[in-house]
């Protein structure tokens, strides 16, 4: 009986130690960053889910359905419908603007590539092997903190904040203007009711 009880206690201690070890191997400051570890899977899911909902561009740019809204309730109805119906098309517009800002600001593009490569490198390093940085042993959490600070500095120097505000401002303006002017099609109304 005592052997069985001590055996159960040893098994419980072993499982709690293994769960502690699992928690230590999580990503940045105890938070697992799935985008870094499963980037291909994440992009595949986005491609399958979001881009499968892409509506025809002829439907998106149908000038015959553009009309001036009558009042605020008409604007709200059009925007709420079009945001849901054309969400994948709007995502493509945001991605095009993102590519445009990266091409026009090469220092920002270089900074983002450097930051992404740094996070990828740290995520692939074994968590139990510290890196020797100028005589200082930096574990994985310390490396994430150092890279986070360097990322803020790089993004500040490359005007990352203004680029972000530009993308948000331009894309939201384009999306809201388009969504408020385009009348819902009969097919989309029927698809929403089914």
Residue 15 pLDDT greater than 50, yes or no: no
Q: What is the pTM of this model?
A: 0.64
174 and 156, same structural domain?
A: yes
DSSP state of 26: S
CA distance linking residue 41 with residue 48, whole number of Å: 10
55 and 147, same structural domain?
A: yes
Q: How many domains does the chain have?
A: 2
- Give the least confident one: 11-25, 64-78, 89-103: 11-25
- The reported pLDDT for the residue numbered 56 is 85
- The reported pLDDT for the residue numbered 82 is 92
- The reported pLDDT for the residue numbered 28 is 40
CA dihedral 97, 100, 104, 110 (to 10 degrees): 90
19 and 93, same structural domain?
A: no
Range of the domain at 40: 32-193
| Beta strand ranges found along 23-182 (DSSP E) | 131-133, 136-138
68 and 50, same structural domain?
A: yes
61 and 10, same structural domain?
A: no
CA distance linking residue 159 with residue 152, whole number of Å: 10
144 and 160, same structural domain?
A: yes
Tokens 């990266």 correspond to 102
Q: What is the pLDDT of residues 77-124, one digit of tens each?
A: 999 999 999 999 999 999 999 999 999 999 999 999 999 999 999 888
User: Residue 152 pairs with which residues in a beta bridge?
Assistant: none
91 and 14, same structural domain?
A: no
Residue 10 pLDDT greater than 60, yes or no: no
- The reported pLDDT for the residue numbered 23 is 43
37 and 87, same structural domain?
A: yes
């Amino acid at each position: 009986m005592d052997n069985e009880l001590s055996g159960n206690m040893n098994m419980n201690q072993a499982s709690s130690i293994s769960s502690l070890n699992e928690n230590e191997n999580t990503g940045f400051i105890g938070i697992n960053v799935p985008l870094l570890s499963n980037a291909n899977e994440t992009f595949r899911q986005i491609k399958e889910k979001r881009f499968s909902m892409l509506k025809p561009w002829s439907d998106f740019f149908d000038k015959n359905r553009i009309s001036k809204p009558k009042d605020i309730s008409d604007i709200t109805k059009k925007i709420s419908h079009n945001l849901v119906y054309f969400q994948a098309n709007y995502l493509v517009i945001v991605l095009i603007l993102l590519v445009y800002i990266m091409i026009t600001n090469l220092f920002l593009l270089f900074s983002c590539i450097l930051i992404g490569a740094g996070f990828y490198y740290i995520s692939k390093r074994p968590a139990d092997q510290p890196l020797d940085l100028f005589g200082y042993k930096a574990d994985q959490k310390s490396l994430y903190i150092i890279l986070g600070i360097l990322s803020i500095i790089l993004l500040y120097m490359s005007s990352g904040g203004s680029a972000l505000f530009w993308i948000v401002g331009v894309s939201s303006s384009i999306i809201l203007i388009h969504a408020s002017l385009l009348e819902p099609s009969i097919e989309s109304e029927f698809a929403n009711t089914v």
